[in-house]
Amino acid sequence: MSAAESVVHREAARQRAMLAGDVDALRDLLDESLHYGHSSGGSDCRESYLAKIAGGATVYERLVLEVEKVVDLATGVAMALGTMKGSVRLPERTVEVDSRFMTVWRFRDGRWQMVGHQTVSGPR
């Protein structure tokens, strides 16, 4: 399987895990050095992101991730570009998400893991 195919496969697994609130699956997908930037301007490390999901502070009610392009940056490093649409329940409100994302994936210890994530709000 090529790097691009592997990253697309891992992004699909990430979508399933986010919808299921599956912290164990997400822990496997997300590198311990993860920086997760939100379109709101906030950010999380892997553990703070997983804690929000495990504690019910972030619940993905509906989510569609579509990878549009994967770029090989270097051996074992790839960037995915795409769109994220859905509905996310937060403690203070439910947010309708329509955004573009960029993720960076690194192949290490026999698997691809996300090391960086950033979203920006999509056009309205």
For residue 124, pLDDT beyond 60: no
Q: Is the dihedral of CA 4, 8, 10, 14 positive or negative?
A: positive
The beta strand positions in the chain, using DSSP E, are 30-37, 43-45, 59-74, 77-89, 94-108, 111-121
**What's 3's DSSP letter?**
H
**In the numeric block, which tokens belong to residue 113?**
């893991």
7: region left, alpha or beta (phi > 0 left; psi from -120 to 50 alpha) = alpha
> Mind listing the pLDDT tens digit for each residue in 84-93?
999 999 999 9
For the chain, list the domains and their CATH numbers: 3-121 (3.10.450.50)
**What are the b/e assignments for 21-57, b being 16+ CB within 10 Å?**
ebbeebeebbbeebbbbbbeeeebebeebbebbeeee
**What's 2's DSSP letter?**
-
pTM: 0.93
Strands 111-121 and 30-37: parallel
The most distant pair of C-alpha atoms in the chain lies apart, rounded to whole Å, by 42
> Mind listing the pLDDT tens digit for each residue in 27-81?
999 999 999 999 889 999 999 999 999 999 999 999 999 999 999 999 999 999 9
